[in-house]
Homo-oligomer: A and B are copies of this chain.
């Protein structure tokens, strides 16, 4: 198997290295064989090629079986003509990665770091399925001059159906409950989402479906997070709500995500940013990257045993409190990584 590696900026390369060490250790003595190939991306690619997503990276990623991406961007490129984040939008588009999957699961060992009270969090465990290649992110026309500006949100029934499919299928392996988040009391695109959903849900009679307005959902995520199982929503709403939801866990530095298309490789990445303030200090939390790799093994390579092994090793390291400062610990990136590797045995 070929894994394309996009090492990222600032703490990006530090946690990528940690993740690859764990993957290497876990897969040794297993039947899982893989090769990694590095491609330039983000700020690093701007420095080298004046382009956050060079052609060679698109070509390489397309041929890979999975893509690992570490956090990109940062102040160095704030005034760049084309910013690193533009590369993110382009790679999603170029590879047809129309769905983004973000688990929000509260780990009892870390929930004391949550800003939200324990009695609200309980066993919070939901997934946000965000549409990733349409909506206001890609709609045209998009225009701006000194006097006015315009953005366009578009959705086709086809685009809605394919993201619904991802979310409904996922709910079948979970609590069979889907919440569509929209703003159907105002937006035409939301009305289309509802119409398509009403038809689509007939194929999933076991799944209960409800609709939440995005403003109400933004409240409910904090006041009643256990009410959700699978949230399916448009690009912009998913961006806002998945970041909001991530803080419930109290451990941003540990959360992985997956972006997927129809065929072609999935992309796995931590949800956090490139943390310029702690770059080079050796204290970045590698767990989000390691869990992104675990997610890759499970979803792209069907390597459940390997994935379970990594998950258990991570869990043990957290329980033993070998954790970085973001989780209240004093361990370095290397110490956490070494401990997880040790726990694999």
Interface membership of A17, Cβ < 8 A:
no
Task: Give A220-246 as 1s and 0s: 1 = Cβ < 8 Å from B's Cβ atoms.
Answer: 001100000000000010011111101
* Total copies of this chain within the assembly: 2
Interface pair A149/B85, CB less than 8 Å apart: no
A188 touches B223 (CB 8 A): no
A89 CA / B187 CA spacing, docked (Å) = 12
Sort chain A's interface into a size bin: 35 or more
Q: Does chain B have a CB within 8 A of A191?
A: yes
Provide the A112-144 mask, 1 if CB < 8 A to any CB of B, else 0.
Answer: 000111001000000000000000110100111
> Chain A interface mostly helix, strand, loop or mixed?
helix
> Does any Cβ of B come within 8 Å of A216's Cβ?
yes
Q: Is the CB of A216 within 8 A of B243?
A: yes
Question: A219 touches which one: B116, B155, B158, B246 (CB < 8 A)?
Answer: B246
Q: How far is the CA of A147 from the CA of B89 in the complex (A)?
A: 25
Report chain B residues within 8 Å CB of A191: 144, 149
Complex CA distance for A240 and B238, rounded to whole angstroms: 12
The answer on a CB contact under 8 Å between A189 and B150 is yes
Residue of B nearest to A239 (CB): B215
B152 near A150: Cβ-Cβ < 8 Å: yes
- Is residue A83 within 8 Å, beta carbon to beta carbon, of the partner chain? yes
Chain B, Cβ-Cβ closest to A189: B149
Contact pick for A185, options B83, B116, B152, B157, CB 8 Å: B83
Q: Within the assembled complex, what's the spacing in Å between the Cα atoms of A157 and B146?
A: 7
Chain B residues in 8 Å Cβ range of A244: 215, 218-219, 222, 244
A7 contacts partner chain B, Cβ-Cβ < 8 Å: no
> Does chain B have a CB within 8 A of A24?
no
Residue of B nearest to A250 (CB): B223
Q: Mark A186-228, 1 if CB is under 8 A from B, else 0.
A: 1111011001000000000000000000111011001100000
A156 at the interface (CB under 8 A from B): yes
Instruction: Tell me if A338 counts as interface (CB < 8 A to partner B).
Output: no
When distances are taken between beta carbons in the complex, the residues of chain B under 8 Å from A177 are none
Question: Which one of B115, B120, B142 lies within 8 Å of A188 (CB-CB)?
Answer: B142
A162 CB to nearest B CB, Å = 14
Evaluate whether A188 and B144 lie within 8 angstroms (CB atoms) in the complex, with A149-B155, A150-B153, A240-B214 already known. Answer: yes
Cross-chain contact A149 with B192 (CB below 8 angstroms): yes
CA distance A247 to B225 in the complex (A): 13
Contact: A241 with B222, CB < 8 Å? Answer: no
A116–B188 contact, CB under 8 A? no
Give the residues from 170 to 196 in chain A that come closer than 8 angstroms, CB to CB, to chain B: 183, 185-189, 191-192, 195
Contact B247 A222 (CB under 8 A): yes
The residue on B at minimum CB distance from A199 is B146
**A147 vs B115: C-alpha distance when bound (angstroms):** 42
17 A-B residue pairs with Cβ-Cβ distance under 8 Å, sorted by A, are A85-B185, A89-B186, A115-B117, A116-B116, A136-B187, A143-B188, A147-B158, A148-B155, A149-B187, A150-B189, A152-B153, A215-B243, A218-B243, A218-B244, A219-B244, A219-B246, A219-B247
A residues with CB within 8 A of B: 83, 85, 89, 115-117, 120, 136-137, 139, 142-144, 146-158, 183, 185-189, 191-192, 195, 214-216, 218-219, 222-223, 236, 239-244, 246-247
